[in-house]
Amino acid sequence: MALQPITRKDFIKNSAMLLAGSTLASCTGMLATAQPQAAEQNSYMAAGNALTLKNVRLETGFEYEGDEVVSTKTDLFILEILDGKVKAVLPNNPDANAMDAQGLLLLPAFKDMHIHLDKTFYGGPWQARRKKNRTVQDMIAYEQQVLPKMLPTSTERAEKLIELLQSHGANFARSHVNIEPTSKLNSLQNLQQALENKKDSFDAELVAFPQHGILRSKSEQLMKEAAAMGIDFIGGLDPGAVDGDMKKSMDFVVQLALDHKKGIDIHLHEGGASGLKTIEYLIDRVNENPVLQDKTFISHCYVLASLEKQKLEGVAEKLAAAKIGIISTIPIGKQMMPIPALYKYGVDVRTGNDSIIDHWDTFGTGSILQKVNLMAQLYNYVSEFELSRCLKLATHNILPLDDKGNRQWPQPGVKADLVLVDASCSAEAVSRVSPVRSLIHKGNIVYQTTSV
């Protein structure tokens, strides 16, 4: 039998699947043994909420050959933290009475900007996705059967999923939470309890997500109630394909956001003309209501991948002008999301794990750094400079070095939301998906794999 050629995209897809499997296997064991080590941290506490680290590796500049960045310079420092913020970055003293970071690289903590913490099989018995469930409509019907069985354990499962994210260096997530007639407001209440239990080690924003369609499932009243229950964003789902009336559905979302001073985050899987009309309609509504700028996002937005270049650039320019962000999970498929074009026009691009081992998706590692690595592979960001810039997808635009190689992070006064990774620089961390050894949230060590 003749060997069949393999495309670059197929290779990346297979590699990502292998990484997902190995990462989840390692994390299951890791979380059992590598829990927060509060007692050890306390031995380095001073008056007030203070922590000092020595032998911390920070990036200090770029090395050039001609005009090309060929490597990243680093050095060791002492980092002083007080009351949840960086107090000082000082020359290193290996003999200082401080916690030893052992030369690990310090990076900003990662942010998962699209996940569903409220519904997961993670932390319980293994289940793969059912083969028969192919369309969004199929999944809505299936959810109506499975959600009542998941609700009794959803708080515990959400906490396990948060721990998985922490093990990969994330201390923040924007989670969509089901608001629909099957689970009513119970899914939201259960997730809020999980977040309350984790409030000292993890932060989150919540999106009231009408998973079964606002109009389709008659969820208007539930959405109004959810909007008054501590959520941060009003969500939506395929207003044309699922709700059957794009304008009516979108008008409801926009008005509810305005009435309750919330942001907007819409799931948009629709392609073709209907998907494009939804984008353009939302741009118009945000421009009419500038208070929604910087607070409005479209998740997935697959229709952008099918637009021809001139049309795409026009839409990207309008999205940037309206300050509407795109949340992409960096999907592997027949069409690639045009992330380079979005960056070119200044669109706020973020990423997340989306579904992790649930009835929607069999896969998911919990690693935002893996998503950055996948982006680098898909768009051929392979140089030292390009890889170092890719890190901003994980940290929401916080980078240790600016484009000229000047150290800009961490500076005194910034939040002490930090990760220590086993890498020599940002570029290596992205390229190798380097392991996270410690996560510091608001100045407190909340996850640690070894005695750092």
Please check whether residue 42 lies inside any domain of the structure: yes
Which CATH number goes with the domain that contains 268? 3.20.20.140
288 and 261, same structural domain?
Answer: yes
| Structure confidence by residue, pLDDT tens digits, 354-388 | 999 888 888 889 999 999 999 999 999 999 999 99
Would you state the structure tokens that stand for residue 19, as one six-digit string? 């990484």
pLDDT of amino acid 81: 98
Would you state the structure tokens that stand for residue 425, as one six-digit string? 């620089």
Please check whether residue 18 lies inside any domain of the structure: no
User: Looking at the 3D structure of the chain, how many domains does it have?
Assistant: 2
165 and 41, same structural domain?
Answer: no
84 and 170, same structural domain?
Answer: no
156 and 302, same structural domain?
Answer: yes
Q: Where are the alpha helices (DSSP H) in 272-403?
A: 272-288, 309-322, 339-344, 368-378, 384-390, 392-395
Kindly compute the dihedral angle of the four CA atoms of residues 193, 183, 111, 445, in this order, to the nearest 10 degrees.
20
pLDDT of amino acid 355: 92
Please check whether residue 383 lies inside any domain of the structure: no
Please check whether residue 393 lies inside any domain of the structure: no
338 and 261, same structural domain?
Answer: yes
pTM across the whole model: 0.89
| Structure confidence by residue, pLDDT tens digits, 84-140 | 999 999 999 999 999 999 999 999 999 999 999 999 989 888 888 887 767 878 888
Which residue type occupies 248? Answer: K
Please check whether residue 278 lies inside any domain of the structure: yes
Please check whether residue 5 lies inside any domain of the structure: no
pLDDT of amino acid 451: 52
114 and 95, same structural domain?
Answer: no
330 and 201, same structural domain?
Answer: yes
With a CB cutoff of 8 Å and minimum separation 6, the contacts of 268 are 238, 275, 278, 279, 298, 299, 300, 301, 302, 303
**Which of these three, 328, 359, 378, is where a domain ends?**
378
334 and 242, same structural domain?
Answer: yes
Which CATH number goes with the domain that contains 38? 2.30.40.10
**Which of these three, 329, 361, 378, is where a domain ends?**
378
d(CA 55, CA 74): 11
201 and 135, same structural domain?
Answer: yes
170 and 117, same structural domain?
Answer: yes
With a CB cutoff of 8 Å and minimum separation 6, the contacts of 406 are 61
Please check whether residue 427 lies inside any domain of the structure: yes
258 and 202, same structural domain?
Answer: yes
d(CA 157, CA 30): 17
CA-based end-to-end distance of the chain = 53
Ranges of residues in the chain whose predicted pLDDT is under 70: 1-48, 133, 450-452
Q: Where are the alpha helices (DSSP H) in 289-347?
A: 309-322, 339-344
pLDDT of amino acid 139: 83
Domain that holds residue 84: 32-108+406-448
Residue 235 to residues 281, 314, 352, Cα–Cα distance (Å):
15, 25, 16
Residue 147, CB-side half-sphere exposure with 13 Å CA sphere = 22
d(CA 122, CA 310): 43
Would you state the structure tokens that stand for residue 297, as one six-digit string? 């996002």
Which residue type occupies 42? Answer: N
Please check whether residue 296 lies inside any domain of the structure: yes
414 and 374, same structural domain?
Answer: no
